[in-house]
Structure 1
């Protein structure tokens, strides 16, 4: 029951305890689905997929059981980072329409429970990887979790519009971890896969930020459109796309992908740049201070940004699927 503020406004201690009681009642309603949501399953699925690709592309046949354990550890590590991120970002998430339904932001899971859940998963994932696979893979997995939770979530996210550029490296580590799990080393080829995801992350994330700018502004997060404006963001999306598309073709030079990968990387990259150009040419947010955007401009930018965001996920998935399938079926 919601406390009666008319009866408690002169008794702050009772008001505080009443609010805590309501929050506790909400937290008691946590379900297994809420804890599953803490893992950020959609993000986890992409992390697991790219990690598995690194493991399969590596020129070593790994024992199936060890490969399963390695992929499981990557999944648990990604889930732990997601849970810890939600625990730390509960207050901020509650201010944003896109994230206010998350378990901690909505009060269904307490911050302490989410922290404990994430901490246990982090310990299990790293220790299992170390004991069952090898120390390099375990070390890279631990670095990824710390990088995302501490460097990105706690330090960079609220301090610089370059948060997603620097912090995005956390999402680029999984194929390197997978490669290291299979071979015990992390050669240049693994870091090429890292570079593809690293360069893909800014245009992917900033496309989302362009049509959720108000959310980030309300939450006080200096994402690029909030800190530098839409025009600067659109330019940087295009520049990163122009660099990322050729880098995505580099695995061809290393013999890491067959004809299918060449087709996906070249044609898919060209279409990525085309969509980035459409975002760049949209005009919302270009008016001087005090000016107004036409409804047409706003809709044009939102549609272009949404299209790029949706396609970027398909593009990265197709790239790594082409690599994975080539090596799975040819064994090369």
Structure 2
């Protein structure tokens, strides 16, 4: 009887400690997941799939899409995790980033660095083995650019940080194109340009909202070093260039994409000009409204690319 009770007691202790261990493991896994900045990755993937559709003017192989998205996700997660390691001091003083894992000591900094490097290596292996060498090399190049050019050089030194550093966020469309074709052709560069010119209005709208955060952290985002009117005017300029740039894809697409690009562009320009007008009048502004609309705009344009390609609409001009 005593042995039965002893065994039961041990079982109770296991049951009592089991859930807490599971909970701790769950929190730890969640912290590592948060290091990858999944919301940022989601937007990047939205652009990768349409680029693959356009590259073949058809629906790509499901396996190729899955492999490319998996490799691309690991590459983006690697860059974001390493960015968290380097910018831990900035994240501590910004209200917007104070809940990130390294600020809350949820993950040791050394472990986060190893995790980021391991993800980068895994992304190269995944893309090389399941897609092609070009896609793998482009993914690693993107990680290195984001860390060494944007995070370590540009971010804390120039108000043009997101203009040039944003090139890293443009690479998923090039990787997607390369995954399908094994090459990089002119439509891939045009899609790159769409996201390149989209990045400043998108990021500066966010920075207008969190200007004090960036100022406190010593990051010279444009809204920190320039007047609100200058920032709003730059948003309008880049928005016009972005919308015009989307039309460069018309020769490789059909009237369907062209129609969506024009309507979505007019819609976004209306709100960019409205923000500029509010700033000029000294009225209360809502830059986050433009920030969220920029996400919607990009999604609409690239979804139109995917639909146009999937249904096999004849291209209007230049062959791919």
**Compared CA separation, residues 136 and 29, structure 1 to 2 (3 A):** closer
Could you tell me whether the CA contact under 8 Å between 2:232 and 2:279 is conserved in 1?
A: no
> Following the alignment from structure 2 to structure 1, what is the Cα–Cα distance between the partners of residues 264 and 279?
25
2:178 corresponds to which residue? 180
Matched, 1:52 2:49: yes
1:283 corresponds to which residue? 279
1:22 corresponds to which residue? none
> Following the alignment from structure 2 to structure 1, what is the Cα–Cα distance between the partners of residues 263 and 61?
35
> Following the alignment from structure 1 to structure 2, what is the Cα–Cα distance between the partners of residues 174 and 103?
26
Could you tell me whether the CA contact under 8 Å between 1:29 and 1:108 is conserved in 2?
A: no
Taking structure 2 as the reference length, what is the TM-score of the superposition?
0.85
Deviations 1:290-322 (A, max 9, x none): xxxxxx73xx22x1x122111000000111111
Where do 5+ consecutive residues of structure 1 fail to align? 1-26, 287-295
What is the aligned residue count?
290
> Following the alignment from structure 1 to structure 2, what is the Cα–Cα distance between the partners of residues 326 and 195?
20
Could you tell me whether the CA contact under 8 Å between 1:104 and 1:110 is conserved in 2?
A: yes
Taking structure 1 as the reference length, what is the TM-score of the superposition?
0.82
The alignment's C-alpha RMSD in Å is 2.0
Once the two structures are superposed, the pairs formed by residues 231-270 of structure 1 within 5 Å of their partners are 231-255=229-253, 257-259=254-256, 261-270=257-266
2:33 corresponds to which residue? 36
SS at match of 1:316: helix
1:158 corresponds to which residue? 156
Structure with greater helix percent = 2
Could you tell me whether the CA contact under 8 Å between 1:76 and 1:125 is conserved in 2?
A: yes
> Following the alignment from structure 2 to structure 1, what is the Cα–Cα distance between the partners of residues 57 and 255?
18
SS at match of 1:31: helix
- Residue 326 of structure 1, CA deviation: 2.4
2:66 corresponds to which residue? 68
Once the two structures are superposed, the pairs formed by residues 87-236 of structure 1 within 5 Å of their partners are 87-236=85-234
> Following the alignment from structure 2 to structure 1, what is the Cα–Cα distance between the partners of residues 70 and 51?
14
**Compared CA separation, residues 268 and 46, structure 1 to 2 (3 A):** same
- Residue 202 of structure 1, CA deviation: 0.3
Runs of 4+ in 1 over 6 A off after TM superposition: none
- Residue 329 of structure 1, CA deviation: 3.4
Deviations 1:78-104 (A, max 9, x none): 111111111111110111111111111
**Compared CA separation, residues 66 and 268, structure 1 to 2 (3 A):** closer
Could you tell me whether the CA contact under 8 Å between 2:170 and 2:192 is conserved in 1?
A: yes
